[in-house]
């Protein structure tokens, strides 16, 4: 009898260290320094025919004993004319990752990224790391595979149906910093091309009792980004002085299921206590440009009948409701046996203090059966009983749901108006499977 195609992981006889192209860079005992590193001295350098595929980034940090960030910067895809075969000089994309401080508890925090091919050092380009503060307070460990571009495409590390994966952040396109309430373009749209989002990271905090947020979305520059013309992807909420309320979003391995309209750009917009010359919170986005937009709708609007049944992403900011109340993701069609594959979801909310609990996640039309992990959330019921923020994200869900089951975004309030603001994003693919018994319940 032949072995099954999917084997238990503990029977695998190799790991990444057995792969010929495998490499690791890491900080020494003194940690990550603050100095700028020249491309000639960068720890990852690619020749004109090479790429480096970043498989994992692991950052550790002793947080500040203050309401301030410690920040690690990944500087990627800088090049110097004449070095490594580079035809021109290009400044590196600066990707900030924040570790919010805490006035009561100084401790070590970690951020683990697994870009899975979404973060790539281009030919003739480099990668290096530095930090905002000296003193060895941040350490970084990066696993990567360096191979020829031809081999990376051949092996499926990079898709041939589009450009090379690229990175952007608050510092992209128009310089560093943000202005409160002002939309800022971080990825410029191109005629005939759509932006395909491969991953999204959000870190930082507002350290404030005010309700703040930072938006991310597609937009063509007309009208108002915040007034309905912008096609929102995510809206990270901040509320509460302590760093425990800081949103941390890690969205990876979207499998290209989040795409925008041709020629749309990608924008961010932050409120007062998040924006600034040195922002207190930043998005980092991994993306590529594609010629074919394959999502059912590049607008993310829920409750439509899919016309393109390959990939999908959907977004909502609707008010929360009761059991069985939620935003139907797809217009339900009779006798449709297709299966929806949910690859991931993320959300953010402001929750008032109350004695009852609130639940966020995804459910089915029955209302009581979850279609995903459900998140039990509440305001700060101790230490002042205040309204605070809550954020979640999960990639690689890989859950199959019958189309006919009426998949919904779900937010249940324990008491009226206790989830005062909310956003919810999900993404996935379509399958031709006709299974109808894909989700069960642990308990009633």
* Sheet arrangement for strand 375-377: 326-328, 408-412, 358-363, 375-377
Q: Of the ranges 20-24, 65-69, 220-224, which one carries the lowest mean pLDDT score?
A: 20-24
In terms of pTM, does the model score above 0.85? yes
Q: What is the pLDDT of residue 5?
A: 45
Q: Tell me the mean pLDDT in the region 200-214.
A: 96
Q: What is the pLDDT of residue 13?
A: 57
Candidate CATH numbers 1.10.1160, 3.30.450, 2.60.120, 1.10.3470; the one for domain 311-431? 2.60.120
Query: 50 versus 413: which is more confidently predicted?
Result: 50
Q: What is the pLDDT of residue 133?
A: 83
User: Does the structure show a pLDDT above 70 at 443?
Assistant: no
Q: Tell me the mean pLDDT in the region 393-422.
A: 87
Q: Tell me the mean pLDDT in the region 313-319.
A: 90
- Mean of per-residue pLDDT scores for the chain: 88
Q: Tell me the mean pLDDT in the region 360-370.
A: 75
What percent of the chain lies above the pLDDT cut of 90?
61
Q: How far apart are CA 424 and CA 321, in angstroms?
A: 14
Q: What is the pLDDT of residue 367?
A: 58
Q: Choose among 191, 162, 133, 180: nearest CA to 289.
A: 162
Q: How far apart are CA 337 and CA 377, in angstroms?
A: 34
Domain map (residue ranges) of the chain: 16-156, 311-431
Q: Tell me the mean pLDDT in the region 81-105.
A: 93
Residues with Cβ within 8 Å of residue 13, at least 6 apart in sequence = none
Q: How far apart are CA 393 and CA 137, in angstroms?
A: 27
User: What is the b/e burial string over 101-131, where b = at least 16 CB atoms within 10 angstroms of the residue's CB?
Assistant: bbeeeeeebebebbbbbbbbbbbbbbbbbbb
Beta-bridge partner residues of 120: 53
Q: Of the ranges 43-47, 309-313, 356-360, which one carries the lowest mean pLDDT score?
A: 356-360
Instruction: Identify the band that residue 4 occupies on the pLDDT scale cut at 50, 70 and 90.
Output: very low
Instruction: Identify the band that residue 322 occupies on the pLDDT scale cut at 50, 70 and 90.
Output: low
Q: What is the pLDDT of residue 327?
A: 85
- Whether 16-156 shares its CATH topology with 311-431 is answered yes
Q: Where are the beta strands (DSSP E) in 318-398?
A: 326-328, 339-351, 358-363, 375-377, 388-394
Q: What is the pLDDT of residues 263-314, one digit of tens each?
A: 999 999 999 999 999 999 999 999 999 999 999 999 999 998 888 889 999 9
Q: What is the pLDDT of residues 142-171, one digit of tens each?
A: 999 999 999 999 999 998 888 999 999 988
User: Does the structure show a pLDDT above 50 at 2?
Assistant: no
β-strand pairing of 281-290 with 166-169? antiparallel
Cβ–Cβ < 8 Å for 230, 218: yes
User: Does the structure show a pLDDT above 60 at 416?
Assistant: yes
What percent of the chain lies above the pLDDT cut of 70?
88
DSSP characters over 182-224 = --EEEE---TT-EEEEEEEEEEE---EEEEEEEEEEEE-SSS-
The H or E element that residue 82 is part of is: none
Query: 367 versus 5: which is more confidently predicted?
Result: 367
Q: What is the pLDDT of residue 325?
A: 65
Q: What is the pLDDT of residues 231-261, one digit of tens each?
A: 999 999 999 998 989 999 999 989 999 999 9
User: What is the b/e burial string over 189-210, where b = at least 16 CB atoms within 10 angstroms of the residue's CB?
Assistant: beeebbbbbbbbbbbbbbbbee
Q: Would you state the CATH architecture of domain 16-156? A: Sandwich (2.60)
Residue 309 burial by Cβ neighbours in a 10 Å radius (0-12, 13-18, 19+): middle
Q: Tell me the mean pLDDT in the region 16-34.
A: 84
Q: Tell me the mean pLDDT in the region 356-371.
A: 76
User: Does the structure show a pLDDT above 90 at 432?
Assistant: no
């Amino acid at each position: 009898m032949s072995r099954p195609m999917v084997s238990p992981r503990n029977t695998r006889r190799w790991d990444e260290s057995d792969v010929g192209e495998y490499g690791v860079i890491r900080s020494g005992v003194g940690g990550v320094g603050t100095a700028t590193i020249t491309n000639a001295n960068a720890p990852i350098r690619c020749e004109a025919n090479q790429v480096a595929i970043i498989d994992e980034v692991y950052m550790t940090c002793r947080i500040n004993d203050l309401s301030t960030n410690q920040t690690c910067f990944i500087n990627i895809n800088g090049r110097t004319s004449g070095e490594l075969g580079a035809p021109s000089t290009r400044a590196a994309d600066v990707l900030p990752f924040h570790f919010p401080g805490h006035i009561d508890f100084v401790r070590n925090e970690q951020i683990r990224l697994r870009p899975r091919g979404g973060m790539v050092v281009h030919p003739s380009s480099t990668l290096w790391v530095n930090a905002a503060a000296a003193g060895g307070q941040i350490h970084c460990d990066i696993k990567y595979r360096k191979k020829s571009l031809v081999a990376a495409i051949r092996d499926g590390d990079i898709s041939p149906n589009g450009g090379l994966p690229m990175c952007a952040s608050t510092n992209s396109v128009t310089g560093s910093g943000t202005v409160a309430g002002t939309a800022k373009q971080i990825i410029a749209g191109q005629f005939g091309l759509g932006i395909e989002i491969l991953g999204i990271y959000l870190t930082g905090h507002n350290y404030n009792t005010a309700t703040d947020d930072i938006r991310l979305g597609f937009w063509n520059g007309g009208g108002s980004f915040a007034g309905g013309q912008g096609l929102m992807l995510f809206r990270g909420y901040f509320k509460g002085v302590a760093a425990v309320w800081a949103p941390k979003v890690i969205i990876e391995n979207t499998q290209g299921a989040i795409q925008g309209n041709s020629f749309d750009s990608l924008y961010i917009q932050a409120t007062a206590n998040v924006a600034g010359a040195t922002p207190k919170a930043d998005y980092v986005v991994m993306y590529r440009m594609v010629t074919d937009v394959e999502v059912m709708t590049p607008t993310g609007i829920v409750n439509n009948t899919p016309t393109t049944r390959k990939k999908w992403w959907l977004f909502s900011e609707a008010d929360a409701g009761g059991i069985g109340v939620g935003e139907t993701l797809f217009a339900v069609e009779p006798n449709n046996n297709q299966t929806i594959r949910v690859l991931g979801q993320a959300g953010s909310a402001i929750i008032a203090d109350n004695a009852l609990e609130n639940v966020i996640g995804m459910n089915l039309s029955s209302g009581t059966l979850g279609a995903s992990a459900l998140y039990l959330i509440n305001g700060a019921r101790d230490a002042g009983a205040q309204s605070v923020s809550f954020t979640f994200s999960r990639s690689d869900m890989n859950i199959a749901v019958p189309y006919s089951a009426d998949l919904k975004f779900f937010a249940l309030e324990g008491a009226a108006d206790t989830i005062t603001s909310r956003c919810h994003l999900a993404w996935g693919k379509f399958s031709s499977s006709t299974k109808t018994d894909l989700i069960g319940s642990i308990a009633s």
